């Protein structure tokens, strides 16, 4: 079936000449002087903003949200179907999660004790248990989840979104990436890069601890001198423009200095968490003096909420960083899963759960789509001679919450052990198609011409998963 509609998709591309009528490509018209001006979606959207929580390192679905009684029952047995060689090599026996599962939420969804507070919000969540990836290495896996391609250099989901829709807030970037307090994810800025889209649509990276680079007036430049320099730039540029009447690029550069000035006020304002009441700090765990990484991630979560609140179109919040090595600062639990997840679970759980609850209590979930994802899942077996799980792109869990999403709901399933998606298998392209759909965008039509091809976030693939829509 997938291929039949693949062909159908490509037929659409052929009709490029009369785009709208034929269902051909739609390239948003960008005013160079106002690249972030809000633009109309293709049809009525269900969501206006997106918040992505990206768990870097491959969060194990069999230890969190994909409950497999058969895996518990057959703990210690060999996996049926013969020996499997996966990313790091041979696998050992089926191994149940070290974390117990119990029913949570009104809906009684079975989730594990690793992330109990997130589990308690199961009623808000629409689980997709059958996501698959095309690769089992981290860099390409992150690329695939964030850009739809395993290779480097393609535009990220957030870049596509800001390209398509612009921003609702004239004083903040349309797309913000919030790296984990421990550092950047494995594919680093390719997760929020513009690829071949204009640089205007790249994610601006900052978090509660590290502000936007070069944002603030340098310490050794006096305020009056700063103002004087800007005014001089503006005056001389305006005079220069008089010699080139109607030149949009020159006008756009003048406008960009104005937006930069507004950002210098608005970004510190949004990043200043001191105005948040103590109850909020406590709710997120931002005041946790025992666990500094958790407190740092919690502050990033508060920042994410403040950005969403101010109409930032796309916020990508990372949990986990790679530089510290395998599984140390991220979810890559190859060898010592229990030991490492015991550290990572508390860092993620309370802050992320608080973020979801806070969005709900402020009514922001009505308009915000929350996407919880990772690059792939992990094996139901432990690796041979190790106490952790290898990479598994054949079936893993992501969830959606908020605007336009059916919840509580579980879609798709892996096999008895959590190894492969066997019911409603979904590629990341389907996941992306669904996200764009909720934003009022047709993933088959939102396109950008690059080097011979009308490029799309979903390449030539992808189906909206209608079953998960409210």
Given the complex with other proteins, which of 81 and 363 has the nearer CB atom? 81
Which position among 130, 132, 169, 186 is part of the footprint of other proteins (CB under 8 A)? 186
Which position among 21, 44, 83, 214 is part of the footprint of other proteins (CB under 8 A)? 214
- 228 near other proteins, judged by CB under 8 A: yes
Q: Kind of pairing, strands 125-132 and 396-402? A: antiparallel
Given the complex with other proteins, which of 82 and 325 has the nearer CB atom? 325
Given the complex with other proteins, which of 109 and 313 has the nearer CB atom? 313
CB of 439 to other proteins, least distance (A): 22
CB of 399 to other proteins, least distance (A): 25
Q: How far apart are CA 131 and CA 426, in angstroms?
A: 5
Token pair 């929020």: residue = 192
Token pair 């599984």: residue = 327
Judge contact between 146 and 159, C-beta under 8 A: no
**For residues 59-118, which are near other proteins according to CB under 8 A?**
85-90
**For residues 312-341, which are near other proteins according to CB under 8 A?**
322-325, 328, 335-336
Residue 306: both structure tokens together: 């403040």
Cα→Cα distances 143→50, 138, 163, 306, 468, Å:
18, 8, 18, 27, 24
Which position among 216, 342, 361, 423 is part of the footprint of other proteins (CB under 8 A)? 216
CB of 276 to other proteins, least distance (A): 26
**Binding segment for other proteins among 124-132, 213-221, 275-283, 360-368 (CB under 8 A)?**
213-221
Given the complex with other proteins, which of 225 and 470 has the nearer CB atom? 225
DSSP string, 167-206: -S-TTS-SEEEE-BTTB--TTGGGGT--TTS-GGGSPEE-
Backbone angles phi, psi at 162, to 5 degrees: -70, -30
Q: How far apart are CA 20 and CA 156, in angstroms?
A: 24
CB of 454 to other proteins, least distance (A): 8
Judge contact between 438 and 52, C-beta under 8 A: no
Report helix, strand or coil for 250: helix
**Binding segment for other proteins among 62-70, 220-228, 411-419, 436-444 (CB under 8 A)?**
220-228
**For residues 230-289, which are near other proteins according to CB under 8 A?**
230, 232-233, 235-237, 239-241, 243-247, 249-250, 252-257, 259-260, 263-264
Judge contact between 288 and 295, C-beta under 8 A: yes
**For residues 160-179, which are near other proteins according to CB under 8 A?**
173
Residue 455: both structure tokens together: 């490029």
Cα→Cα distances 137→86, 106, 183, 249, 330, Å:
10, 37, 19, 41, 14
Helix axes 248-271, 292-309, angle to 10 degrees: 130
- 224 near other proteins, judged by CB under 8 A: yes
**For residues 445-464, which are near other proteins according to CB under 8 A?**
449-454
**For residues 375-404, which are near other proteins according to CB under 8 A?**
384-385
Q: Where are the alpha helices (DSSP H) in 243-318?
A: 248-271, 278-284, 292-309
**For residues 116-145, which are near other proteins according to CB under 8 A?**
135-140, 142
Size of the site for other proteins (CB under 8 A): 104
- 1 near other proteins, judged by CB under 8 A: yes
CB of 451 to other proteins, least distance (A): 5
CB of 237 to other proteins, least distance (A): 5
Given the complex with other proteins, which of 338 and 357 has the nearer CB atom? 338
Judge contact between 320 and 182, C-beta under 8 A: yes
């Amino acid at each position: 079936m997938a291929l039949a509609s693949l062909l159908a998709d490509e037929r659409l591309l052929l009709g490029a000449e009369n785009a709208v009528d034929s269902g051909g490509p739609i390239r948003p018209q960008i005013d160079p002087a106002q690249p972030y001006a809000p633009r109309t979606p293709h049809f009525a959207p269900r969501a206006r903003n997106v918040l992505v929580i990206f768990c870097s390192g491959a969060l194990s679905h069999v230890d969190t949200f994909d409950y497999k009684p058969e895996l518990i029952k057959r703990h210690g047995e060999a996996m049926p179907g013969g020996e499997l060689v996966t990313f790091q090599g041979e696998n050992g026996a089926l191994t149940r999660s070290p974390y117990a599962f119990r029913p949570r939420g009104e809906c009684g969804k079975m989730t594990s004790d690793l992330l109990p507070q997130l589990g308690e919000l199961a009623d808000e969540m629409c689980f997709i248990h059958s996501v698959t990836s095309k690769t089992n290495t981290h860099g390409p896996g992150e690329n695939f989840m964030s850009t739809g391609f395993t290779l480097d250099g393609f535009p990220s989901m957030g870049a596509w979104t800001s390209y398509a829709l612009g921003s609702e807030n004239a004083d903040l970037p349309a797309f913000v990436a919030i790296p984990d307090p421990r550092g950047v994810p494995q594919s680093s800025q390719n997760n929020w890069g513009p690829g071949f889209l204009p640089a205007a649509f790249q994610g601006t990276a900052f978090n509660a601890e590290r502000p936007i680079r070069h944002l603030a007036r340098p310490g050794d430049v006096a305020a009056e001198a700063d103002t004087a320099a800007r005014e001089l730039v503006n005056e001389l540029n305006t005079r220069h423009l008089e010699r080139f009447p109607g030149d949009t690029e020159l006008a756009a550069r003048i406008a960009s200095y104005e937006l930069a000035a507004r950002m210098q006020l608005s970004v510190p304002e949004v990043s200043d968490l001191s105005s948040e009441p103590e109850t909020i700090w406590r709710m997120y765990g931002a005041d946790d003096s025992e666990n500094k990484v958790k407190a740092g991630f919690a502050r990033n979560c508060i920042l994410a909420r403040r950005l969403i609140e101010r109409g930032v179109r796309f916020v990508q919040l990372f949990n986990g960083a790679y530089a510290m090595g395998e599984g140390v600062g991220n979810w890559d639990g190859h060898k010592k899963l229990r030991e490492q997840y015991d550290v990572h679970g508390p860092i993620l759980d309370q802050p992320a759960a608080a973020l979801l609850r806070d969005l709900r209590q402020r009514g922001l979930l009505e308009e915000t789509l929350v996407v919880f994802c990772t690059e792939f899942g992990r094996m139901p077996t432990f690796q041979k001679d190790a106490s952790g799980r290898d990479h598994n792109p054949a079936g893993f869990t992501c969830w959606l919450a908020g605007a336009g999403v059916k919840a509580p709901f579980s879609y798709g399933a892996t096999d008895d052990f959590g190894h492969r998606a066997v019911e409603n298998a979904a590629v990341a392209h389907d996941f992306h198609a669904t996200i764009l759909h909720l934003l009022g965008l047709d993933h088959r039509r939102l396109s950008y011409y690059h080097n011979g091809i009308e490029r799309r976030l979903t390449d030539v693939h992808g189906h909206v998963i209608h079953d998960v829509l409210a």
